[in-house]
Amino acid sequence: MKTKSITIALTLAAAATAGAQITTNAKTVKLYDAATNVNVVDVKLPSPAFYTSFVTAVANAWNVNKGGVVNFDSPQTAPWPSPAVGTNMILGFFGISGSQTIKIGVPLIGDINSHATVVPISEKGDLMSKTVGSMSLTLSASTGLIRQAGLTVLQQANVPQKVTVTFIQSAPGLPVTYTFGIPAGVGVRDTFAGATALAGCGITAVRISSVNALTGAPANVHIDDFAFAN
């Protein structure tokens, strides 16, 4: 029997400079924001009820090799932390069998590490875009449309953020956008955003932007626990 594969391309633009692709391998896990870290998701968009159903849907999808959670942690991620020059593709293996694959292309190069300015919601790692102020994830799956996707934007110790997260759907679905504030602080306003595609549509991209809420200057984007269900 052929195994199906799912491909998620996360474009993070600076990676193309050297021409060579820097890959970090990852094993997905079943549980979103697993209870192995003191820090947890604090704000849940569009609602706590959606978050609860999303977490359940991802776990169920993982059980049948149709979804999973990339948690940017060690030992699930290798090498960890990511190379000093950054990572422009995460090759993940998902599902209970670990036989499915997901590619997360990070076009402006991502940095997987334990960043001192944030507290992850799982273990110790998070993904930061090396392009200050933005992160772009482009999604496609050989197993079909990506029905649900979600991620958590982490609070930063010294930067009050104004964040916009947009989930792009294939036609005729319209973008789903959340704009929210995260005050400066440590691990008390980590904010989840997630979306379900309209019937017959799929989520094809996720775009995140962040600025300093006081000055308007671009701010780093840190996410932890990116998850999807097919």
Asked whether the predicted pLDDT for residue 38 surpasses 90, the reply is no
Please give the distance of CA 158 from its chain centroid, rounded to a whole number. 22
Total domains in the chain come to: 1
Q: Is residue 91 part of a domain?
A: yes
Question: Which residues, in sequence order, are CB contacts of 211 under 8 Å at separation 6+?
Answer: 133, 161, 162, 217, 218, 219
Asked whether the predicted pLDDT for residue 15 surpasses 60, the reply is no
Q: Read off the pLDDT of each residue in 197-206 and give the average, rounded to a whole number.
A: 92
Alpha carbon of 21 to those of 28, 109, 147: distances in Å? 21, 10, 28
Asked whether the predicted pLDDT for residue 115 surpasses 50, the reply is yes
Condensed to tens digits (0 to 9), the pLDDT of residues 66-86 reads 999 999 999 999 999 999 999
Give the pTM.
0.89
Q: Is residue 217 part of a domain?
A: yes
Question: Which residues, in sequence order, are CB contacts of 83 under 8 Å at separation 6+?
Answer: 22, 24
Asked whether the predicted pLDDT for residue 16 surpasses 50, the reply is no
Q: Is residue 69 part of a domain?
A: yes
Please give the residue range of the domain that contains residue 100. 6-31+38-229
Question: Which residues, in sequence order, are CB contacts of 154 under 8 Å at separation 6+?
Answer: 118, 119, 120, 121, 126, 187, 190, 222, 223, 224
Q: Is the distance from CB of 86 to CB of 110 less than 8 angstroms?
A: yes
Q: Which residues pair with 163 in a beta bridge?
A: 180, 210
Q: Read off the pLDDT of each residue in 106-115 and give the average, rounded to a whole number.
A: 89
User: Quick one: which of 3, 11, 226, 16 has its CA closest to 127?
Assistant: 226
Q: Is the distance from CB of 92 to CB of 26 less than 8 angstroms?
A: yes
The beta strands (E) that lie in the chain are given as: 6-9, 23-27, 43-45, 67-70, 77-78, 87-94, 100-113, 126-129, 134-141, 148-153, 161-169, 176-182, 191-196, 203-212, 222-229
Q: How many C-alpha atoms does 11 have within 13 Å on its Cβ side?
A: 9
pLDDT for res 19: 56
Q: Is residue 129 part of a domain?
A: yes
Condensed to tens digits (0 to 9), the pLDDT of residues 87-104 reads 988 888 888 998 887 777
Q: Read off the pLDDT of each residue in 151-172 and give the average, rounded to a whole number.
A: 96
Q: Is the distance from CB of 45 to CB of 201 less than 8 angstroms?
A: no
User: Quick one: which of 20, 26, 21, 230 has its CA closest to 127?
Assistant: 26
Neighbours of 64 (CB within 10 A): 12
User: Quick one: which of 166, 173, 159, 169 has its CA closest to 218?
Assistant: 159
Q: Is residue 1 part of a domain?
A: no
Query: Mean pLDDT, the chain, as a whole number?
Result: 88
Helix (H, G, I), strand (E, B) or coil at 14: helix
Torsion sign across C-alpha atoms 36, 114, 85, 211: positive
* Two structure tokens written together for 112: 């997987």
pLDDT tier for residue 142 given thresholds of 50, 70 and 90: low
